[in-house]
Copies of this chain bind each other. A is one copy, B any other.
Amino acid sequence: MTQAPRRKRANGVESRQRILDATVEIAGERGYDGTSIAAVSAKCGLPASSIYWHFKDKDDLIAAVIERSFETWLTAVELPGEGAGAPLERMTAMAANIAKSLVDAPDFLRLGLMLALERRPTEPRGRTVFLQVRDISRRRIAELLQGLFPDLDAPDLATLTTYTVAGADGLFVQREVAGDDVDLVALFEMHARMVYEAAARLSRAASPAAPCGD
C-alpha cells in the first residue's frame, strides 16, 4: 500500500484471471477444438508458455473456465431472496432472474452446451465438470418444485425437472440463434408458468379433490 507496486510485477493471480477471461470468450464462441492456445495467448497478451505455467494443459484450462464461469453465474443468479411471495410469483421471479443472467453472460452456457453435445472418444474434463455443475442446478430446481408441490411423486418430479431444464436450454439456444429479437426474460417467465400449471395438475392428480380453476 505504501509502495505502489510497480505495475507489471509478476502477479500470478492476475495473470490467471486474464488467461481465464480470454479463454471464456474464445471457447464460448468456438467450442473446445476451436479454442487454440495461440488464440488465447494472443487475446490475453501472455505467451503460450505462460499459460502452461498456470494450467497443466488445454483440458485443464477449459475445465477451469467452466468451474469459474459456473461460480460467477451462480452468484449472479442466487442473490435475490428465494423465499418470498406466492409460489407462482416466486417461480417466475426466479426464471426472470436466470434469464437475465444468461443474457448478460451467455458464454458459460453456450460453451457448456457445446461441450455437452460433443461425443468424443476421450471426453474432455470440461464436459464432465459442466455436467456436474449442471446437475447441481438440476437438483436445486427439483428441490424447489418439491417444496412448492409436496404431493408430486418421484417420477413426476423427475420428469418435470427434466422438462424445466430442457425448456431453459432450448429457449437459450433460441435466443442465441435469433439474437435480441427474442425476449428471453418473457419466455422464461412463460416457461415458469407452464411448468407451474403442469406441476399443479400433476399434483392434483396425485392427491385428489380440488375443482377446476387454479
Contact = CB atoms under 8 A, between A and B. Distances in A.
Interface of A: 28-34, 110, 113-114, 116-120, 131, 134, 159, 162-163, 165-171, 173-174, 176-178, 182, 186-187, 190-191, 194, 197-198, 211-213
B182 A30 contact: no
A168 B114 CA distance: 17
A173 B116 contact: yes
Q: How many monomers of this protein are in the complex?
A: 4
Nearest to A34: B33
Contacts of A116: 173, 176-177
A114 B117 CA distance: 7
B165 A174 contact: yes
Contact of A167 (B34, B114, B170): B170
Among A32, A162, A213, which residue has the most Cβ atoms of chain B within 10 A?
A162
Contact of A30 (B33, B169, B174): B33
B113 A119 contact: no
Nearest to A107: B119
A113 B113 contact: yes
Given A117-B173, A118-B31, A166 B194 contact: no
Given A32-B33, A212-B213, 8 more contacts: A31-B114, A116-B177, A117-B173, A119-B176, A162-B174, A162-B182, A169-B173, A212-B212
